[in-house]
């Protein structure tokens, strides 16, 4: 298995800012890896996902996904990346049905001017069933709870049939049983389909057991990485943990 995601000395600065959100990041993620990214608020976790996905252009360095430069092949690359974003805001009056939002994940495969066929809908309902949300497939997403809508977003990403799955705080708004269900599903997808995943979380206890590597970000830099137990016992992470407690 080769590298699917490669960042070579990458820095990223948001428009209008002077201080980079990512500093000289060099990172390689192999096909089939399940990588967790943790760190305090403002560490650059979401920025890292946006940079990998080409939504936020790197100001220096090179980002390659599937061996292609994100800067020049971003649209093509994003068709193969499922992305569950954090804190997706939706108006309560939004009329789209849950099943239609999940179907939006098929757009890259169907094309903008084509209609979904039976196989596309089978994929939609299968993923909704996996997440336990088939019961409200005909309910408007504006009327869903935060947890219900979060599962719709995860189902949408899976319906894309991605080669890489980027998950930004995917357990947000989920209750304990839903977290367990989603965690087990992600583990199954990683093991049985060798789906490459990058999982961002501020909660160390939320990291699925299938995670093969944990990366710690602080102030836009990778400060530690390795197996979860090794990372958590490192002095750097212990210092970050104590610093976070002081700011609580």
The CATH number of whichever domain residue 10 belongs to comes to: 3.40.50.300
Residue 185 belongs to some domain of the structure = no
Token representation of residue 89: 């805001």
Residue 186 belongs to some domain of the structure = no
Domain residues for 42? Answer: 1-80+163-176+192-248
Q: For residue 225, count other CB atoms closer than 10 A to its CB.
A: 17
Q: For residue 214, count other CB atoms closer than 10 A to its CB.
A: 24
Verify that 63 and 100 share a domain, yes or no. no
Alpha-carbon distance 5 to 66, whole Å?
7
Verify that 100 and 52 share a domain, yes or no. no
Residue 222 belongs to some domain of the structure = yes
Verify that 36 and 50 share a domain, yes or no. yes
Verify that 155 and 167 share a domain, yes or no. no
Residue 138 belongs to some domain of the structure = yes
Neighbouring-strand partners of residue 5: 29, 65
Verify that 10 and 131 share a domain, yes or no. no
Length of the chain: 248
Residue 205 belongs to some domain of the structure = yes
Residue 183 belongs to some domain of the structure = no
Verify that 167 and 157 share a domain, yes or no. no
- pLDDT tens sequence for the chain (248 residues): 689 999 999 999 887 777 789 999 999 999 999 999 998 888 999 999 999 999 999 999 999 999 999 999 999 999 999 999 986 777 666 788 999 999 999 988 887 778 899 999 999 999 999 999 999 999 999 889 989 999 999 999 999 999 999 999 999 889 999 999 999 999 999 999 999 999 999 888 888 888 999 999 999 999 999 998 888 888 877 777 776 655 54
What domain count does the chain have? 2
Verify that 74 and 168 share a domain, yes or no. yes
Residue 68 belongs to some domain of the structure = yes
Verify that 171 and 231 share a domain, yes or no. yes
Alpha-carbon distance 151 to 187, whole Å?
16
| DSSP secondary structure letter of residue 140 | B
Closest CA to 155 of 139, 173, 172, 170: 170
Residue 187 belongs to some domain of the structure = no
Verify that 49 and 61 share a domain, yes or no. yes
Verify that 145 and 167 share a domain, yes or no. no
Q: What are phi and psi of 16, to 5 degrees?
A: 90, -10
Whole-model pTM?
Answer: 0.91
Verify that 48 and 153 share a domain, yes or no. no
Neighbouring-strand partners of residue 65: 5, 68
Verify that 234 and 169 share a domain, yes or no. yes
């Amino acid at each position: 298995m080769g590298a699917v995601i490669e960042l070579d000395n990458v820095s990223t600065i948001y428009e209008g800012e002077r201080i980079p959100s990512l500093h000289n990041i060099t990172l390689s993620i192999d096909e089939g890896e399940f990588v967790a990214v943790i760190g305090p608020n403002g560490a650059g976790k979401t920025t890292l996902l946006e940079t990998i996905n080409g939504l936020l252009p790197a100001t220096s360095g090179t980002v390659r996904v599937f061996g292609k430069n994100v800067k020049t092949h971003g649209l093509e690359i994003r068709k193969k990346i499922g992305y569950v974003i954090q804190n997706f805001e939706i108006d309560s009056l939004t009329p789209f049905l849950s099943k239609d939002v999940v179907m939006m994940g098929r757009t890259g495969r169907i094309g903008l001017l084509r209609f979904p066929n039976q196989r596309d809908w089978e994929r939609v309902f299968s993923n909704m069933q996996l997440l336990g949300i088939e019961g409200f497939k005909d309910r408007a997403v504006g009327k869903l709870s935060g947890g219900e809508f979060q599962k719709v977003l995860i189902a949408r990403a899976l319906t894309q049939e991605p080669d890489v799955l980027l998950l930004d705080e995917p357990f947000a708004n989920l209750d304990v049983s839903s977290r367990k269900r989603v965690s087990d599903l992600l583990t199954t997808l990683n093991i049985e389909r060798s789906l490459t995943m990058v999982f961002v979380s501020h909660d160390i206890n939320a990291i699925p057991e299938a995670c093969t590597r944990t990366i710690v970000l602080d102030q836009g830099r990778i400060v530690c990485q390795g197996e979860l137990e090794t990372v958590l016992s490192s002095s750097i992470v212990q210092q970050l943990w104590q610093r976070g407690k002081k700011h609580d």
